[in-house]
Amino acid sequence: MTEPVASSGGDRTPDSDKRPEPDAVSGGHAEIQASPTPGLILSTLGVVYGDIGTSPLYALRESLRHAHEHHMAETAVIGIVSLLFWTVVLIVTLKYVVLILRADNNGEGGTLSLVAKAQGALHRRAWWLYLVGIVGVSLFFGDSMITPAMSVLSAVEGMILVLPGFGNWVVPVTLIIVVALFWVQRTGTEAVSRFFGPVMLIWFLTIGVLGAMHLLDDSRILQALNPLYATGFIARNGLDVLPVMGSVFLAVTGAEALYADMGHFGRGPVRISWLAIVFPALTLSYMGQGAMVLSHPENAGNPFFLLAPAAFTLPLVVLATAATVIASQSVISGAFSVSQQAVQLGLLPRLEIQHTSDTQQGQVYLPRVNLILMTGVCALVLAFGSSERLASAYGIAVTGDMVITSILAVIVFRYAWKWNWLAVLAIMLPVLAIELVFFSANLMKVVDGGYVPLMFAAVVVTFMLVWMRGTLLLQRKLSAESVALDFLVEQLTESPPTVVPGTAVFLTADSTIAPPALMHNLKHNRVLHERNFVVTVEAATTPRVPEGRRIRVEQLAPRFWRVWLRFGYMEQPNVPKALAGAKAQGLRFDVMSTSYFLNRRSLRVGKARLMPLWASRLYAGMYRSASEPTNFYRLPSNRVVELGQQINI
């Protein structure tokens, strides 16, 4: 296995043998964190905290259901609420808000950002880090499908309390809402958050007020603030507590999206909105639900909606439906960010990436990812049909991803932040132990539907590994069959063909060999341009690369230059704009007299046996599906020349 690296231009393959520069992780510019303005804090509510903010809809309900199935005492609700509260405190507040948000990679979050930071901290190439990162990303994608289905279903089901005959309409209405949600993604996160932020502010105020109204239904619920009630609940019930803990974990689903979405808004707004608005509202909601159930055990079947007076049930259902639509936004936005990172790091083929904001660099839209997620969410809604059944599939992907994040965080804390082992273990061992217990509890759901996110994650892992392996083997094959660039330049300098005016740019994956497009141009057209640039696009392990470090040029001969262009994994490569920076190094580069030569390859499967037949076919399919290099690298379409080539794999 090899490290993921950049995807290069005309060859449609990453440069598997080119490594990021040693200072790529720590030497980049520090990303300027957005100022925590009221508008930005409001926007974070609509994009970052939608998922975790709607957990009160079902977290306590599902926990109480499992407690009832195991004939636990009615007062067990105190222990369950205590578990909910302290799980949120330890995992979300301590781990993510206080610690993990500090472990950004120049302003960007997510599993791959943490992998890049850990890689830089170790000062060596560690393939297992990328493997861990791939598994984490795959589990996150699984969560990105389940969260919208679970959230919207649970809210729409609330209509049954108002209209008892609404049961048959739950699935159709949910599908309509889901399709509308994914359709609106094309407008971008910035446009969506303008509407979503105020709605979520109303949501958090509402659930906080409703919870506070019921706190005195039974004041014993205040004992849940004591962690001893959580530990005592676990000690008294033994293994019977595992199904309950599997549902308790639903309270923190969305914490990974919180970290992945950090690049959209910055660390400050994310922290302030959590501490000032989200966490107090969640605490009041869980405490209020618990107090009501202690006072009226018959309300355990749907404690959230029964918090509201009968006359306000319908408005609450409508608000909950809007909130759950918004809840889906956090994981969808996170999936877009993570997908972009995966493409730039060479884990996936090139995908069309649209930047949707002029002010926030991290806001992107990927049409193909959006379509895949929408299809998966609709399939889950149709297959499971209810939030209760879907809850069985929920949690495994999230807990697995959280465990991976904690493992990576240990490396970052120890080797990047230089903490001593005692401090690292004192903080992370309890968190990791809790997450492993939750992961074990969620493994019990595998048969009942938990296999769904695991299967999807396995598919994503397979795609990534096949793409990386196929790219490496293909690049080795091409290198073995190619002519060294230095040798070709020497021959052309001694005996040049007809020289024509203008500039030619040849994009290639390997800067040491002659680009196939250059060889074909010499063979078929028998001409050489006056100025020739052999360009390799590299991916840095930082989100963005400062303009001063974007381009590196080496002159090989009077008519030849070798150029390296470096882009961060959160940047969309713009080759013409980057090449214009060559003027700063004393080179004349006229964009209007430049032609871009790309090599378009078609793969023939089963001839060279580079990989097993199934893997070769999968790789060839992914290769063909990659977006056009003209669009991906922002090349002017009227100045691009493509030359074809067939390759056996």
pLDDT of residue 228: 93
- CA dist., res. 314 & res. 95, Å (int): 37
Query: What's the whole-number mean pLDDT along residues 494-521?
Result: 89
For the cut 60, the answer to whether the pLDDT of residue 4 exceeds it is no
pLDDT at 203: 95
Q: Is 531 helix (H, G, I), strand (E, B) or coil?
A: strand
Specify the 3-state DSSP secondary structure of 206.
helix
Residue 95 has a pLDDT of 92
pLDDT (0 to 100) of residue 131 = 87
Q: Give residue-wise pLDDT tens across range 205-236.
A: 999 999 999 998 999 999 999 999 999 998 88
The pLDDT of residue 34:
52
Residue 28 has pLDDT above 80, yes or no: no
pLDDT above 70: residue 100: yes
The Cα 79–Cα 226 span in angstroms is 9
**Rounded Cα distance, 288 and 282, in Å:** 10
For residue 213, the model assigns a pLDDT of 95
* Boundaries of every domain in the chain: 41-385, 478-648
Mean pLDDT is highest, among 153-157, 198-202, 246-250, 284-288, for 284-288
Q: Which CATH number fits domain 41-385: 1.10.150, 1.20.1740, 1.10.3470, 3.90.1570?
A: 1.20.1740
Nearest to 247 by CA among 286, 275, 274, 284: 286
φ, ψ for residue 637, nearest 5 deg: -60, -25
Element (H, E) at 411: helix 396-411
Which CATH number, 3.90.550, 3.40.50, 3.30.1450, 2.115.10, labels domain 478-648? 3.40.50
Q: How far apart are CA 199 and CA 625, in angstroms?
A: 38
User: What number is the average pLDDT over the span 418-444?
Assistant: 89
The predicted pLDDT at position 335 comes to 84
Residue 16: band (very low, low, confident or very high) from pLDDT cuts 50, 70, 90: very low
Amino acid 192: pLDDT: 64
Would you state the pLDDT for residue 19? 35
Kindly state the tokens that stand for 213: 């109204």
Return the pLDDT at 358. 54
For residue 532, the surrounding DSSP H or E stretch is: strand 527-539
Among the ranges given (169-173, 414-418, 601-605), the one the predictor scored with the smallest mean pLDDT: 601-605
Calpha distance 316→323 (Å, rounded): 10
Residue 126's pLDDT band (boundaries 50, 70, 90)? Answer: confident
pLDDT at 354 over 90: no
β-pairing, 594-604 with 498-507? parallel
d(CA 63, CA 627): 45
Give the bridge partners for 368, in sequence order: none
Residue 478 has pLDDT above 90, yes or no: no
**Alpha carbon distance 299, 216 (integer Å):** 16
Residue 112 pLDDT exceeds 50: yes
DSSP code of residue 463: H
313-344 helix and 111-122 helix, angle to the nearest 10 degrees: 40
The strand pairing partners of 484, in sequence order, are 513
Res 357: pLDDT: 60
Tell me the per-residue pLDDT of 132-142, one tens digit each, with 9 for 90 and over.
Answer: 888 888 888 88
Give the 3-state DSSP-derived string for 262-331, with helices as H, strands as E and coil as C. HHHHCHHHHHHHHHHHHHHHHHHHHHHHHHHHHHCHHHHHCCCHHHCCHHHHHHHHHHHHHHHHHHHHHH
pLDDT confidence of residue 7: 40
What would the mean pLDDT of 353-377 be, rounded to a whole number? Answer: 78
Residues 6+ apart with CB under 8 A from 358: none
Share of the chain above pLDDT 90, in %: 30
Please state, in angstroms and rounded to a whole number, the distance separating the CA atoms of residues 519 and 573.
25
Q: Under 8 Å CB-to-CB from 504, ≥6 apart: which residues?
A: 518, 521, 529, 531, 532, 533, 594, 595, 597
Handedness of CA 15, 2, 105, 419 (dihedral sign): negative
Res 25 pLDDT > 60: no
- With cut-offs at 50, 70 and 90, classify the pLDDT of residue 189: low
Average pLDDT, rounded, for the chain: 84
* Full DSSP string of 211-267: HHHTGGG-GGGGGGGSHHHHHHHHHHHGGGHHHHHHHHGGGGTTHHHHHHTHHHH-H
Reported as a pLDDT band with limits 50, 70 and 90, residue 467 is very high
* Pair of tokens at residue 573: 């490569």
Longest dimension (CA), the chain: 94
Q: How far apart are CA 57 and CA 10, in angstroms?
A: 50
Q: Which helix (H) or strand (E) holds 601?
A: strand 594-604
Neighbour-count burial of 572, counting CB atoms closer than 10 A to its CB (0-12 exposed, 13-18 middle, 19+ buried): middle
Q: How many CB atoms lie within 10 A of CB 417?
A: 15
Report which of residues 140 and 557 the model is more confident about: 557
> So what's the pLDDT on residue 647?
83
115-124, 483-492, 583-592, range with greatest mean pLDDT: 483-492
pLDDT band at 35 (very low <50, low <70, confident <90, very high): low
Report the pLDDT averaged over residues 629-633: 86
pLDDT score, position 12: 39
What percent of the chain clears pLDDT 70, i.e. is strictly above it?
91
Q: What is this structure's pTM?
A: 0.74
Residue type, 206: T
| Mean pLDDT on 363-374 | 87
Residue spans of beta strands (DSSP E) within 96-211: none
The strand pairing partners of 599, in sequence order, are: 643
Residue 113 host element (H or E): helix 111-122
59-69 vs 76-87: helix crossing angle, rounded to 10: 140
Question: What is the model's pLDDT at position 204?
Answer: 96
